[in-house]
Homo-oligomer: A and B are copies of this chain.
Amino acid sequence: MKAINVGIIGVSGYTGLELVKMLISHPIFNLVYCANTEGATTVSDLHPALMGVCDLNVEKVDIERTAQLCELVFLALPHKTAMQTAKGLLAKGLKVVDLSADYRLSQENYEAFYCEHEDLDNLSHAVYSIPELHGKRAEGAKLIANPGCHVTATLMALAPFLDHIDLSQPIFVDSKTGVSGAGKSPSATVHYVSVNDNINCYNIIKHRHATEIEQHASALCDGSVKVTFVPSLVPMTRGMLACVYATLKDDCDPLALMEAFYNGKPFVRLRKAPPHTKMTSGTNFADVYATRHGNALVAMCAIDNLMRGASSQALANANIMMGLDETLGIPRIAYVP
């Protein structure tokens, strides 16, 4: 099959790094262009673990040059910068997979939590896609809005039950995340001494991902889903475990229902016991589990926040977008022990 030249803009961070790691051995995508805000460096200078493995130059972002070299671009940029960059790339006819929040929400929801939206035209056709929940809707898209990590884990735990829970009762989401989700920039929050031997919830209820969950859960069931979202920061580098707590309105068997819902999906594993995040580390797997206690539903999904929660899902979406097999070049072998 013909190679497709791709680029990564925003290659300095963790999700950029994960994209590089996958793209350098992808059978169709050919990584030809890496850029960040400053340029004048190489992938292995930014990420010394890749010394001798990927020593590509990293250039200063340049829309013109990107368009000359690439057919498809992954954007691993902060919100706002992402839409400013995507706009130009899309105008040049490139395909874009955006890992930021910029195209994930309705204008109203976006502007309530982020900033003024500067690219409403493209927002109108951006495709939000978790492959197991949204099917092939990414196929042929020009712009993918790649979902957030907490949102992916939550929706994958919640989706099978949307028709079985009482939406008028509270839905609680207790989502535990590793530190890499906070990004590479140093801050008091990610100081080793603050994180180690500690656990705490943060941004509860008001977290931006709560709105993203609500918008996309509502779309999935054509109803109005409200969630009470409580994320916590766990002393681990990567991994995410979303626990969804809701009230069932029928006598379904949650595990059987989940099994039927995800039957045949290559990147979902139904566990017979609560999943361990470590089992998914470095992969695109979502390990799911559910049970009930009277009318109380407990549904869980464990993922790698950087992979299924960002980069490997972006790559799966890119595969689908370009008409390729969803699984091409997507890691399945976990970072264990």
User: Are B276 and A200 in contact, with the CB atoms below 8 A?
Assistant: yes
CB contact under 8 A between A277 and B333, given known A192-B192, A192-B235, A205-B298 = no
Given contacts A176-B199, A191-B186, contact A170 B236 (CB under 8 A): no
**A315-337 vs B, Cβ < 8 Å mask (1 yes, 0 no):** 00000000000000000111111
User: Is A275 part of the contact surface with B, judged by Cβ < 8 Å?
Assistant: yes
| Residues A14 and B243 in contact, CB atoms below 8 Å apart | no
User: Which residue of the partner chain, among B53, B193, B238, B243, contacts A201 with CB atoms under 8 Å?
Assistant: B243
Contacts of A24 in B (CB 8 A): 333
- A142 contacts chain B at the CB level, 8 A cutoff: no
Would A278 and B179 count as touching, CB distance under 8 A?
A: no
From the candidates B237, B295, B334, name the one contacting A49 in the complex (CB within 8 A): B334
Q: How far is the CB of A85 from chain B (nearest CB, A)?
A: 23
Cβ A337 vs Cβ B172 within 8 A:
no
A34 within 8 A of B: no
Instruction: Report Cα–Cα, A169/B295, bound state, in Å.
Output: 8
A80 interfacial contact with B, CB 8 Å: no
A311 nearest CB across to chain B (Å) = 11
Q: Which residues of B contact A179 (CB under 8 A)?
A: 192-193, 196
Are A333 and B21 interface neighbours, CB within 8 A?
A: yes
How many whole Å from A265's CB to the nearest CB in chain B? 10
Pick the residue among B53, B170, B180, B285 that contacts A294 (CB under 8 A).
B170
Q: Give the shortest distance, in Å, between A156 (CB) and chain B (any CB).
A: 16
Structural contact, B197 and A236, CB atoms closer than 8 A:
yes
Chain B residue with the shortest CB-CB distance to A231: B274
Q: Is the CB of A190 within 8 A of B199?
A: no
Are the CB atoms of B234 and A199 closer together than 8 Å? yes
- In the assembled complex, the Cα of A280 lies from the Cα of B53 at a distance in Å of 12
Measured between beta carbons, the chain B residues less than 8 angstroms from A52 are 269, 285, 332
Query: Using Cβ atoms and an 8 Å threshold, which residues of chain B touch A243?
Result: 174, 201, 230
Enumerate chain B residues within 8 angstroms of A276, measured Cβ to Cβ.
48, 198-200
The answer for the CA separation of A169 and B296 in the assembled complex, in Å, is 8
| Chain B min CB distance to A204 (Å) | 6
A239 near B186: Cβ-Cβ < 8 Å = no
- In the complex, per-residue mask of A278-311: 1 if CB is within 8 Å of any chain B CB, else 0: 1111100100000101111010101000100000
CB neighbours (8 Å) of A202 from chain B are 274
Q: Inside 8 A of A239's CB, which chain B residues have their CB?
A: 197-199
Interface CB pairs A-B, < 8 A, 15: A25-B333, A49-B334, A49-B336, A50-B333, A51-B269, A169-B247, A172-B245, A174-B245, A184-B191, A192-B237, A198-B236, A198-B276, A199-B236, A228-B245, A282-B335
Residues of A whose CB lies within 8 Å of any CB of B are 14, 17, 21, 24-25, 47-53, 169-170, 172, 174, 176, 178-180, 184, 186-188, 190-202, 204-205, 226, 228, 230, 232, 234-239, 241, 243, 245, 247, 269, 271, 274-282, 285, 291, 293-296, 298, 300, 302, 306, 332-337
Pairs A-B, 3 closest by C-beta atoms: A170-B296, A198-B278, A186-B186
